[in-house]
Each structure stands twice: as structure tokens, then as C-alpha cells.
Amino acid sequence: MSLDTALKVGTPEDVSARADAPGAEVSQAHEPKGLVARFGPDEPLAMDAGVQLAPFQIAYQTAGTLNADRSNAVLICHALTGDQHFAHTHPVTGKRGWWETLVGPGKPVDTDRYFVVCSNVVGSCMGSTGPASIDPATGRAYGLDFPLVTIRDMVRAQAMLLDRLGIRDLFLCIGGSMGGMQVLQWAASYPERVFAAMPIATGPRHSAQNIAFHEVGRQAIMADPAWAEGRYLEAGTRPAKGLGVARMGAHITYLSEPALHRKFGRRFQGGSAPTFSFNADFQIESYLRHQGLSFVERFDANAYLYLTRAMDYFDLAADQGGVLANAFKGTKTRFCVMSFTSDWLFPTSESRAIVHALNAASAPVAFVEVESDKGHDAFLLDEPAMFAAARGFIDAAARARGL
């Protein structure tokens, strides 16, 4: 009987043997596909941790054309393990852009009408400065020497990118999950620069349960000896098992029991199961292992630590004396908040908390709860009800802005 009890990394015949050594996932950190804005020592990023990060760079992608008035810019904010390739083939996986369901010619975020920008967040590993980047002070990767990143830092860096691109204000700022947190932070930090905002499947703060899930993921990474106290790039190893397990756990939180049941149920993998072993008998086990393994091909473990931490620290009300409504006081931004019925990571109650605060601040806010059994990830998937609501909101906002 073949042993198939753990994530198969490090065995020579395994396809992911290359996962043992730093590879594709950090190559993008240094030489990303797409556009890069570089900020020198004279333009540091002022981070919440008290550090002036310099030099640093922001990797980004665009679609569509900026109009003469520079009034049709859309900023897409990506989620935890997302990237700037929203409508572009992924440089590592070869997959299509992650939000081509929503964004593209004739789509609700219409690239024939709008100039769409998406940048890799600071602290990530797809070309913007993060823990896998080279620290100019030491000549080696930052690793855990990289300052802790917050959602507000990500947004500050995006604002610097827009300044660089000559975009004074955004027609629309849109994103889901951690992207939604950035949208809320944009609306709070730069209300005059956001005409319309769509925070999707997100919340005004990271809940205790969500912090708990993240902590399990981080501990899995740090428990992997190959993590080497964060110095795996110099050690020539990588914590693929730890990161894979972190991804497996997190991936469950992105789905829902009905979706898992529909897709996998209790079905066995292959014909000979049960094998009376700890092999991946069930389809769901095999699926999760695949998710874990394919993730380590494209993502840096330390970046995962930093970005999960950024989400954990997010609490918009805490920055406002505990009153969330104060974050939106006097705002003229029009909001469309969206949640999904089966999302238990950012349940509808989180979106309602945003809506109530916006109401209390007299902000113009629309709210839709989309019926879906696909869980948190629904915002990335083909959800006609979401598209219909998004199209209605965005088209009306465009009319109001004279686009």
C-alpha cells in the first residue's frame, strides 16, 4: 500500500519537489509581470508600525483607458492571497484574471468605459515590497525584519500610486474580503477621493473567530522546520507543508457546508476506498490537499503571515474612539455594501454593521444580501444576482458622475 498520508512535498518524484526550494513564488516578488511604480528614499511609505519604508515599489496592472477628465478611474482592491492580475493571465499559474467574472468589456466594471487599476498590496509577494523583497540595508530578504503591515498602510501605498498615475480621485473603489477592508479604509481615509465605494463580503473589523483561524494558519507555517524562523530563503528551504496546511484550513472557511456537500459529499476518491488508512480516501481530502499544494507554488509563506496579521489588526471603529459611524462622518461617497447568505467568514451581520454606521453618518448607502450557497468565495464566482446589483449601482453612479 502506498503511503499517502501527508502533503506530498519533498519527495523527489513528486511534482512539487521544486516546492522545496525558493522558486516561482518569490521570482514574482522581485521581477513581477506587469507594471511597477518605484518610490525612492525621498518618497517613503509612512507605516502604522512607525517605520518610513524606503525605497519601496508597487506592482500593478491596468485595463481600459483614462479619460481626458481623469474621472473614470476604478481601483480594485484584492483579497488576502489575491494579486494585481485581475484581468490578466497569472504569471505563475497561467490561470485567467481572478475577477474577469465582474471586470472586462461589457461587464459591470466595464473596461470599455472605465480605467481600472489594481495594485499588489504592500506586504504581499507579487511584486510590491514585502517580506520576500530584498532589504537594501542587508542585501538579503527582509523576512521577519519587514515592518508589520496594516490595511491603512496598503491604502496609503495605493494613494501614492494614484498620485503617481495622476489620478486625483476614484470613480469607484471596489473589493471583496480583505479588499473590502481596503475599500472601507479608502472611504474613511480619503473620502474626497472616492466617488463610489463597493465593499463586498467584508466587515468593519476582523472578528475573534477569524483571528483564531488566521492564528492556526500562522502556527502551521511557523511549526514547519523548513520555515527556519522566517529565514527559509537563505536556508534554501521553504515551509511548504506549513503553508499548505494553513491554506487547507483557510480554504474551508471560504466555502460552505452546502457547497462542499454539493461538490464532494462523502464521495470516495477512486474505486477501492475505504482503504482503512489515512490516505486521501474522500474527495474532499484530495481536493483540500490539492488546494494546499497549488497554493505554495504561488505564495510566499512570510507574506501570508504578514497579510493575515494586517486583516487581524483591522478595526475601523477602534481608530475612531469605538464609534464606527465617525469613520464616515460627513462623507459624500455613495456606498453599495454586499454580502452573501452562506458566507460565515464575513456573515451578513458584519455588512449590516457597516450599513448601520453609514446610516448613522447619513451616508448614501445601498445594501444587498445575495442568496448564494457558495460561501465567502461567492464574490469571486459567477453570481448573476451580484452582477445585477453591481451593474445597477455602478451604472447609476456613472450617470451621476456624468460618465
Partner 1 sequence: MTGPVAQAHRPWETAETLPRAEAGDTRVDHLVVLDLVPANARVLDIGCGDGALLALLRDRRGVDGRGIELSREGVNACLARGLPVIQGDADTDLANYPDDAFDVVVLSQTIQATRNPRIVLEHLLRIGRQVIISFPNFGHWRVRSELALRGRMPVTALMPEEWYETQNIHHCTIRDFVGLCRTVNAEIEKATALDARGRPMRFAMPWWVWNLMGAQGVFLLRRGAAGSNA
Least gap, CB of 206 to partner 1 (angstroms): 22
Dihedral Cα 225, 231, 232, 234, nearest 10 deg:
-140
Q: Which of 177, 256, 339, 372 is catalytic?
A: 177
Q: Is 126 in the site for partner 1 (CB under 8 A)?
A: no
Q: How far is the CB of 365 from partner 1 (least distance, A)?
A: 5
Taking CB under 8 A as the rule, does residue 252 contact partner 1?
Answer: no
Q: Are 220 and 308 in contact (CB under 8 A)?
A: no
Mask for 279-318, x = binds partner 1 (CB under 8 A): ----------------------------------------
Q: How far, in Å, CA of 284 to CA of 263, rounded?
A: 8
Residues, the chain: 403
The yes or no reply on residue 320 touching partner 1 (CB under 8 A) is no
Instruction: Please count the residues of this chain forming the interface with partner 1, following the rule CB under 8 A.
Output: 29
User: C-alpha angle 77/78/80, rounded to 5°?
Assistant: 135
- Is 376 marked active-site? yes
Whether the Cβ atoms of residue 401 and residue 171 lie closer than 8 Å to each other: yes
Decide if 16 is catalytic: no
User: Whole-number minimum distance, CB 326 to partner 1, in Å?
Assistant: 13
200 binds partner 1 (CB under 8 A): no
Rounded to the nearest angstrom, the gap between the alpha carbon of residue 249 and the centroid of all alpha carbons in its chain is 16
Q: What are the grid coordinates assigned to 331, written together?
A: 462623507
Q: Choosing from 78, 85, 88, 376, which is the catalytic residue?
A: 376
Cell 521581477 locates to 31
Residue 392 within binding range of partner 1, rule CB under 8 A:
yes
Name the one range near partner 1 by CB under 8 A: 117-125, 144-152, 284-292, 330-338: 330-338
Q: Which of 294, 223, 226, 299 is nearest to 10 (CA)?
A: 226
CB 20 within 8 A of CB 294: no
Interface mask (CB under 8 A) for partner 1, residues 331-370, using x and -? Answer: ---xxxx--------------x--xx--xx-x-xxxxxxx
Instruction: Check residue 403 for interaction with partner 1 (CB under 8 A).
Output: no
> Number of helices and strands (H, E) in the chain?
11, 12
Q: How far is the CB of 33 from partner 1 (least distance, A)?
A: 36
**Closer Cβ to partner 1, 130 or 203, answer by number:** 203
Is residue 177 annotated as part of the catalytic site, yes or no? yes
| Ramachandran sector of residue 261 (left: φ over 0; alpha: ψ -120 to 50; beta: rest) | alpha
Least distance (Å) from partner 1 to the CB of residue 167? Answer: 24
Amino acid at 289: R
Omega before 12 cis (within 30°)?
Answer: no
Compare residues 318 and 366 and give the one whose CB is closer to partner 1.
366
How many CB atoms sit inside 10 A of residue 135's CB? 14
- In angstroms, give the least distance from the CB of 355 to partner 1: 6
On whether 281 is known to bind a ligand per the annotation, the reply is: no
169 near partner 1 (CB under 8 A): no
Cβ neighbours of residue 296 closer than 8 Å, sequence gap 6 or more: 9, 16, 19, 25, 238, 240, 243, 244, 247
Residue among 153, 300, 312, 343 flagged as catalytic? 343
Write down the H helix ranges in 299-371: 301-313, 348-360
Is 377 annotated as contributing to ligand binding? yes
Residues that bind partner 1 (CB under 8 A): 334-337, 352, 355-356, 359-360, 362, 364-371, 385, 388-389, 391-393, 395-397, 399-400
**Active-site annotation, residues:** 177, 343, 376
**Binding-site annotation: residue ranges:** 247, 377
**Binding-site annotation: residue ranges for substrate:** 247, 377
